[in-house]
C-alpha cells in the first residue's frame, strides 16, 4: 500500500506541472483574458472560411495546433467536453445575480455555439483539442483504417486483438488505482472508459452493423452530463488533465482509452460518446454554410469516403449529424462534385 501511495504521489507531482500556470493568467475582473479567449476561438472559426483552398488543410493543421494551445494554456473556464456543458449551466444560474461570473462561465461555450451557427461544425474539425489528438493519433494507423474501409468494415483479427489489449490495459489500470482510490465515487469518468471498451467489442464483431446504432450513445452521454450538472455532480472528461493543473486518474485513464480507440477507429470519441457533439450538431443545422453535392459531376471514385475520418459521407452524400467540416472530402474530390456553399443572404 505504501508503494502505491508513493507511486500515486509521483504521478500527481508530474501532472501538476503540466500546466504552465496554476491559475488564470490574470484575474477576470479588470482584465481582458476572457475577451482574448473569445476572440481567439472566434478567429480560429473564421480562418476555416478564409483559408486559401490550395492550402486549406495546411491552415487547418496549424489551426488545430493553435486550438490545443488556447484550450490548454489560456482557457481556464473549460475543463473538456463535459466542462463545456457544466459551465454553460453554471453560467445560466448566475444570470441576474452575478452577470460577470455568468459571462465568465458561458463565454467559451457560447462563442463555440455562435460560431458554429455561422460557419457550421468547424469547431470539431478545426479547433477542438480532443478531436485533434484523436486525428493525429489515428494518422499512425491510416493504412489500417483505409484497408478496413475498402473491405466494407468487415471483422478484423487485428482489430479484435487491439480491443483485447485495450481491455487488459483498462483492467490493470483500474486494479492499480483501486489500491488508493474509492471507485466509482471519486472517478465517474471511469464509466466512459468502460463504455469505450464495450463499444470496441461491438465494433470488433461488426462495425458495419453496429456503427450507426452506437452513435446514438452521444445522446445518452449528453443527458447524463446535463443531469449530473443539474444535480451538482462533477464529472470530469477525457483530457481534463490537460486543461487543469491537477492529476485526475479517471480522466487520464479515459484519455489513454480514447487514444487506443482512435488507433482502431478514427475519431472514436467524436463518433460514439462526445456529448458536446450533440450541441454542435444542433447549432450546425442552423448554419448557412453547408457542403453541397452535385451528383452529375461525381465519377464514383470514393475518395471522399476514404478521406472522411467520421465516415459521414458515402459516395458524395453527407450525413450532417456526423460532418465536422474538415473539408477533406472537398479538397480530395477530383471532379469538384463537392463544394462549400455560404448562403448567408437567405438566412438573413
CA separation for the pair 142, 144 (Å, rounded): 5
| pLDDT over 70 at 53, yes or no | yes
Residues 6 or more apart in contact with residue 191 via CB below 8 angstroms = 184
> How much is the average pLDDT of 181-201?
81
Better-scored residue on pLDDT, 260 or 235: 260
Nearest to 333 by CA among 309, 310, 299: 299
Provide the CB-side half-sphere exposure for 298 (13 A, CA): 18
Averaged pLDDT of the chain? 82
| pLDDT over 80 at 22, yes or no | no
pLDDT, position 36: 66
In sequence order, what DSSP letters do the residues of 54-70 get, joined into one string?
Answer: GGHHHHHHHHHHHHHHH
State whether the Cα torsion 55-325-121-85 is positive or negative.
negative
- Residue 175: band (very low, low, confident or very high) from pLDDT cuts 50, 70, 90: confident
Give the pLDDT confidence of 137-171 residue by residue, as tens digits.
999 999 999 888 888 887 788 999 999 999 999 99
DSSP 8-state symbol, 139: G
Quick check: 37 and 24 in contact, CB under 8 A? no
DSSP 8-state symbol, 300: -
| pLDDT over 50 at 27, yes or no | no
Quick check: 180 and 8 in contact, CB under 8 A? yes
Q: What angle do CA 170, 176, 182 make, to 5 degrees?
A: 100
Give the pLDDT confidence of 259-293 residue by residue, as tens digits.
999 999 999 999 999 999 989 999 998 888 889 99
Better-scored residue on pLDDT, 237 or 18: 237
CA separation for the pair 133, 112 (Å, rounded): 19
Please, where are the H alpha helices in the chain?
2-15, 33-50, 56-73, 81-94, 99-119, 122, 129-138, 142-150, 157-177, 190-215, 217-230, 240-243, 249-264, 268-272, 276-284, 303-307, 328-331, 344-347
Q: What percent of the chain shows pLDDT beyond 90?
A: 37
> How much is the average pLDDT of 184-205?
85
Q: What angle do CA 113, 133, 321 make, to 5 degrees?
A: 40
Q: Give the distance, in angstroms, between the CA of residue 260 and the centroid of all CA atoms in the same chain.
A: 15
pLDDT, position 7: 52
Mean pLDDT is highest, among 40-49, 116-125, 197-206, 280-289, for 197-206
DSSP 8-state symbol, 156: -
Better-scored residue on pLDDT, 130 or 76: 130
CATH number of 288-347: 3.30.70.20
| pLDDT over 70 at 124, yes or no | yes
Return the domain boundaries, the chain.
16-134, 141-281, 288-347
Better-scored residue on pLDDT, 64 or 26: 64
Better-scored residue on pLDDT, 184 or 248: 248
Amino acid at each position: 500500500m505504501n508503494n502505491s501511495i508513493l507511486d500515486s504521489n509521483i504521478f500527481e507531482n508530474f501532472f501538476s506541472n503540466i500546466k504552465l500556470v496554476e491559475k488564470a493568467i490574470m484575474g477576470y475582473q479588470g482584465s481582458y483574458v476572457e475577451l482574448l479567449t473569445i476572440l481567439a476561438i472566434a478567429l480560429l472559426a473564421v480562418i476555416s472560411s478564409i483559408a486559401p483552398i490550395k492550402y486549406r488543410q495546411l491552415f487547418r493543421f496549424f489551426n488545430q495546433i493553435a486550438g490545443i494551445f488556447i484550450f490548454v494554456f489560456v482557457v481556464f473556464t473549460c475543463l473538456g467536453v463535459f466542462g463545456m456543458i457544466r459551465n454553460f449551466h453554471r453560467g445560466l444560474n448566475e444570470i441576474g445575480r452575478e452577470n460577470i461570473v455568468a459571462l465568465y462561465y458561458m463565454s467559451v461555450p457560447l462563442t463555440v455555439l455562435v460560431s458554429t451557427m455561422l460557419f457550421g461544425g468547424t469547431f470539431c474539425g478545426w479547433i477542438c483539442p480532443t478531436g485533434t489528438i484523436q486525428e493525429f493519433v489515428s494518422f499512425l494507423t491510416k493504412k489500417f483504417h483505409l484497408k478496413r474501409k475498402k473491405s466494407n468494415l468487415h471483422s478484423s483479427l487485428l482489430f479484435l486483438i487491439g480491443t483485447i489489449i485495450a481491455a487488459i490495459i483498462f483492467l490493470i489500470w483500474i486494479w492499480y488505482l483501486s489500491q488508493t482510490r474509492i471507485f466509482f465515487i471519486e472517478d465517474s469518468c471511469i464509466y466512459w472508459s468502460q463504455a469505450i471498451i464495450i463499444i470496441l467489442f461491438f465494433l470488433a464483431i461488426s462495425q458495419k452493423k453496429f456503427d450507426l446504432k452506437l452513435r446514438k450513445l452521444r445522446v445518452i452521454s449528453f443527458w447524463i452530463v446535463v443531469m449530473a450538472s443539474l444535480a451538482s455532480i462533477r464529472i470530469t472528461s477525457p483530457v481534463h488533465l490537460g486543461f487543469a493543473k491537477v492529476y485526475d486518474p479517471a480522466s487520464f485513464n479515459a484519455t489513454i482509452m480514447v487514444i487506443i480507440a482512435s488507433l482502431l477507429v478514427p475519431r472514436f470519441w467524436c463518433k460514439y460518446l462526445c456529448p458536446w457533439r450533440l450541441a454542435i450538431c444542433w447549432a450546425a443545422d442552423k448554419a448557412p454554410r453547408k457542403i453541397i453535392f452535385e451528383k452529375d459531376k461525381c465519377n464514383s471514385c470514393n475518395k471522399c469516403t476514404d478521406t472522411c475520418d467520421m465516415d459521414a459521407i458515402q459516395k458524395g452524400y453527407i450525413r450532417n449529424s456526423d460532418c465536422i467540416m474538415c473539408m477533406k472530402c472537398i479538397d480530395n474530390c477530383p471532379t469538384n462534385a463537392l463544394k462549400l456553399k455560404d448562403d448567408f443572404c437567405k438566412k438573413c
